[in-house]
Amino acid sequence: MSPVFRRTGVGQDSWIDLFVDAMLANKPVILNSEFTEDWESRSEWVSDCKKPSLDSLSQRFGDLQVPVVEEADQCNYIEMPLCEFAEYFANKSRHRLLYAKDWHFQRDSGCIPYRLPLFLQSDWFNNEKRSFVGDYRFVYIGVRETWTRFHCDVMNSYSWSANICGRKLWYFVPPGGEEHFRIGKDAYASDIREHRDKWQEAGVIELIQEEAEIVFVPSSWFHQVHNLEDTISINHNFINASNVDLAVDSIRKRIHEIVAEIEDSRDLFTAKEFSDQVQLILKADSKIDLRTFAELLDYLISDRSARAKYCWVCPQHPHSIFECKKNPKCLKRAKELWKENCSCGSMFADPMCPSCLDWIGAYELSCCIEARGMIETYKMRLSSTFMKLLSSRAVAGNSCFYLLSAVILLDLVSRNLQTRAFSQGKPFDWEAARAHFSRFPGGAVTLTTDDNKGLATIELNHPGKKNALSGKMMVDLDDCVRKLESWDGAVVVLSGANGDFCTGGDLEFVKKTATPQDGFTMCTFMGSILIRLRRLPAITIAKGDGYILGGGSELFSSCDIRTMNASAKVGFVQGRLGVTPGWGGTARMVEMLGRSKAIELLATASVLDADTARNISLTSFVYDTDEQFLKYVSSFLRNRRDVVKVSKHVVDGILSGTSLEECLEIEREDFIKVWGGEAHLNALTSKPKHK
């Protein structure tokens, strides 16, 4: 039924093909017997007549305890010595059906009788130097007609299952199709064979796994497995950069389920005790709780940042690396780039080539950072749920600082990577780029801060050039953003001197750097700076005077709020010079204006006046005088700095791709954090004018 799974051999695909097409795309794949032909287990666990044999295992490890379940009662395990189970397995007169499941053979025996292809080696559960979740490597030994109920793997993990001998029948259901087999709020049918009338609509896929084949099971794919013959298999569950976001989502979903399950007993605990109880249940279910998962990611960030030369960020999805893998064009582009530089030579290269070590480290590092931020966001929401903030003014008064501290924490993680470029896959020497651009003088970019007001100003100043950017000015801008990443103010104004904002790159500088290599360096350097500018905790406001053209329009669009003088002109005019935006401006245009209007402005290279820009939401405020602009800025400084920053964080969270229901949850939870707080109570006692 439905599509046939992709089958591949050792020489048919590269390991990068499988990493992208199976893991990143979250699609199943079958690896043929070539992948296991030299495994020790295939010779020692199989008899001369090609039947499963436990003789060798029993001789070496007969005293090891094996978890066994009886077919009639799949829920209750018993422990049995391997030698006793081997005797049962060899006896063809079986009065009951026994299945050895979830046996941690590798851990208990210290024996690893297999060699994995590169495609399956990135495994944060089982292959890291430190273990945070215990062992997720198993051996299954089942007689004919034993089976595993309909389920999805723990924590939305990947899994692979290698048939050492025997054959299996799999029923797979693509993500979402499992809802057709739901029989309760948190329960699904255990045997979908009893609901064949729903198979077509659910998209059920049947698969026969032959001896010596490996089946890769993607995240969130429900499945049910039957042993057609006496069968022995080796299995791993694992997560890595490709599905860590799905694992975090799984934990979040399970936490919400646990809270609902024990809600009736909440009054028996303090807020902290209730929170601890939820995490205890979570850890019993999944061998990991939220704190331990955060520790795992912190370890990975530390380890990968010591090795990675750069970070991986897709120009089309600069705000979320996890959005990139949902786009087939992005996957195709990434695969082509990675394969172009790969010299591994073999699916089993040991170690992989330097180029692959570089990009996989960079990709893992970027995914870990974003996943760590996801956990901090969930912790913020959970804190308000557990603390019942509405019932305690003292807690509510301080709770908004929790959100602020989480934002700062994520920024600290990001600042550890400031010396690396956020480029799509190519090594980049940040300090070399700074030194290179510093050789092209002209103008300056300066930073002034007023800590009392919480206001900072970045000013572009290149007299006689309408503030066109020289190489030195780009380096100055990097310095300004770096200082602001550790500044505790609320608002940053980006402006130009002498009546103009910025007209892009200085012509003399551009002429001297008009090579593909310099173009790559400039794009990577400035694109990274503008991403960091946008990610500042403080709200950024562009003061658009005079001309805002080319690269100047990219600077303009990177700010949270864009204002224009009534006489100003703005335009993405790069097309008139035979180039395109290269600092992230295209992606920001689509986000701000929508697809059609972005295409129109980029293709026509139109220059817009302030009123037209306001009508299409390219700018939100038009002023006639500097006094009007300063009055507008002061409206952001009236509120507490933490409230201003929280406002930006909440909006950014909503724009990250969450559902409408989760958007409401974000608003509600962060509303609770400031309701009844110090600023709120002070405002109430001052008799608001509108009441």
Domains, the chain, with CATH or none:
6-240 (2.60.120.650), 245-387 (no CATH), 430-624 (3.90.226.10)
Give pLDDT, residue 586.
79
Give pLDDT, residue 357.
93
Give yes or no for a contact between 455 and 538, defined as CB atoms under 8 angstroms apart.
no
Nearest alpha-carbon partner for 341 in 14, 591, 111: 14
In this structure, of 492-496, 528-532, 609-613, 624-628, the range with the lowest mean pLDDT score is 528-532
Which class for 472: exposed (0-12), middle (13-18), buried (19 or more C-beta within 10 A)? buried
Instruction: Taking residues 245-269, report their average pLDDT.
Output: 89
- Please enumerate, as own/partner, the contacts of 655-664 that have beta carbons within 8 Å and a separation of 24 or more: 655/319, 655/591, 656/319, 656/320, 657/320, 657/323
Residue 454 amino acid letter = G
Q: Is the pLDDT of residue 459 over 70?
A: yes
Higher pLDDT, 571 or 687: 571
Give pLDDT, residue 511.
86
Give yes or no for a contact between 648 and 539, defined as CB atoms under 8 angstroms apart.
yes
Instruction: Taking residues 310-338, report their average pLDDT.
Output: 82
Confidence of residue 69 (pLDDT cuts 50, 70, 90): very high
Instruction: Taking residues 616-644, report their average pLDDT.
Output: 88
Instruction: Taking residues 422-442, report their average pLDDT.
Output: 77
Confidence of residue 176 (pLDDT cuts 50, 70, 90): very high
Give pLDDT, residue 414.
39
- In degrees, rounded to 5, the angle at the alpha carbon of residue 284 between the alpha carbons of residues 281 and 288 is 95
Q: Is the pLDDT of residue 73 over 80?
A: no
Q: pLDDT tens digit string along 23-55?
A: 999 999 999 999 999 999 999 999 888 888 899
- pTM comes to 0.63
Instruction: Taking residues 406-419, report their average pLDDT.
Output: 37
Q: Is the pLDDT of residue 691 over 80?
A: no
Give pLDDT, residue 2.
44
If one counts every other C-beta atom within 10 angstroms of the C-beta of residue 306, the result is 9
